[in-house]
Amino acid sequence: MKILIEGTFDSESQINPTVRKAFAKVNKFLTGMDEKIKAEGVPDIAYMILEKLSPVEKEGFIKIIKSLTLLTSGNVEMVRNRGKTWDRKKAQRWKRVSSPVSSNILYMLDFDVNSIVTAEDYKQASIHLSQIAGKSNIEFVSRFDHPMADGLPVDADTKQRSTQRDKARYDGENISILYRGLNDLPYSVIRYMITAKEISLGNACSSSTDVDVAQAFAGKRRDGFSALFVMSNPKKIGVDARQFSKFSIEKEIIIKGNFVVESVFCKTMHITESPFQNTVLTADGQKSIFENEAKKTMIELSQIGHKITVEHLDLIGHFAGRKFQKSNNLYFIFKGTLQ
Amino acid sequence: MKLTKTQIKQIIKEELEQVMNEVELEEQEAIQEEADASAKQELIDAMSVPMK
């Protein structure tokens, strides 16, 4: 099998437009496909899209899949430290860390999936994700982008401009809002989050299009504070990992940038509730603690502890805190915009 | 204007207290800034972890 030799990364921080479009198409047309079919081999539709890529573009596609794989199912710590803690004895083969569909696609693109994931791979993934996750890499793909579509811009049955309708649906439902859950946070971090008007997401932050995934993660551990970011994403920032992640149920989008906090809500953790249901305190995210009483109260509540006790209720008043559920975790929701 | 010894002592005491408070406040701010920088990094690390 031919192994593509990876060169140094481009100084450009953009994905090649052809590769980006192919990536978006594969994502779009694999959506809803049975996992078993995806695991059996490269689905026909993906094959038709990928075979048209030039060798250089194929290399670009491989880079994206490898980077996403290492962040979503490899060792996150090593992506963060650029492979510094890589250990030859613990190193796994690509086919072990990648999802079945990613592994099949890598194989089809002539990448040796039996090769070991190296420290250099982690370093390259870290650099690559840092370059691409902050850009708008999520493209609209209409049904007429399907390799077997007849190319007509109008839906033959309804005589409507289906592309526009698809686009409206895509804009409204797809990635316009992203969610990130956090659990087990210490007081120092939650204090920082309440006081910060803008929160840096680092080089590659994992988020989801599904609020339930984020809330379930926020409520997973009860040893610290729980939080949820509700981020509107008007610029469509991020890299769509939904079809390539080993854990496709997470509906993962990798993002980079700054999260501008517009509102902060405080309530108790309840994963089956809508995030904004039964909130006890609401604060303006752009106001400092010196001009916002609610923020000050949130910090004082956090100082008492992450589990709701009588002390919390005494602080804000038993009537004001009637929606707090005793013994449950304090839960902060940050609503804002990704920039 | 003549000042008595007691008045001078009082003025010095008040000035000293003010300076000490300012120093204390600056120290607290510096500690908080340091804590925030560490919290910021801790948050960035937490956010890179996939939600599984």
More confident residue, B15 or A17: B15
Nearest 5°: phi and psi at A167?
-65, -40
Nearest 5°: phi and psi at A319?
-75, -45
Q: Which two tokens stand for residue A131?
A: 């370059």
Handedness of CA B38, B39, B40, B45 (dihedral sign): positive
Tell me, yes or no, if B36 comes closer than 8 A to chain A by beta carbon. yes
Assembly ipTM:
0.79
Tell me, yes or no, if B51 comes closer than 8 A to chain A by beta carbon. yes
Q: Which two tokens stand for residue A61?
A: 């596609």
Across chain A, mean pLDDT equals 86
Query: Taking CB atoms and an 8 Å limit, are B48 and A180 in contact across chains?
Result: no
Nearest 5°: phi and psi at A90?
-100, 0
Nearest to B43 among A72, A192, A213 (CB): A192
A34, A100 contact by CB (below 8 A): no
Query: Taking CB atoms and an 8 Å limit, are A201 and B47 in contact across chains?
Result: yes
Nearest to A188 among B38, B47, B51 (CB): B38
pLDDT in tens, B2-36: 889 999 999 999 999 999 999 999 998 888 888 88
Determine the residue type at A338: L
A135, A14 contact by CB (below 8 A): yes
pLDDT in tens, A129-142: 988 888 887 777 77
Structure confidence at residue A57 (pLDDT): 93
Query: Taking CB atoms and an 8 Å limit, are B47 and A213 in contact across chains?
Result: no
Q: Which two tokens stand for residue A55?
A: 């060798």
What domains, with CATH codes, occur in chain A? 17-132 (no CATH), 173-338 (3.90.176)
Distance CA A141, CA A288 (A): 42
Q: Which 8-state DSSP code applies to residue A260?
A: E
Distance CA A144, CA A153 (A): 7
pLDDT in tens, A27-80: 888 888 888 888 888 888 889 999 999 999 999 999 999 999 998 887 888 888
| Region of A202 on the Ramachandran plot (φ > 0 left; ψ -120 to 50 alpha; else beta) | left
Across A164-192, b (16+ Cβ under 10 Å) vs e yields eebeeebeeebbebbbbbbbbbebbbbbb
- Find chain A residues with C-beta within 8 A of B48's C-beta: 71, 76, 79-80, 202-206
CA A231 to chain centre: 11
Structure confidence at residue A38 (pLDDT): 81
Structure confidence at residue A158 (pLDDT): 58
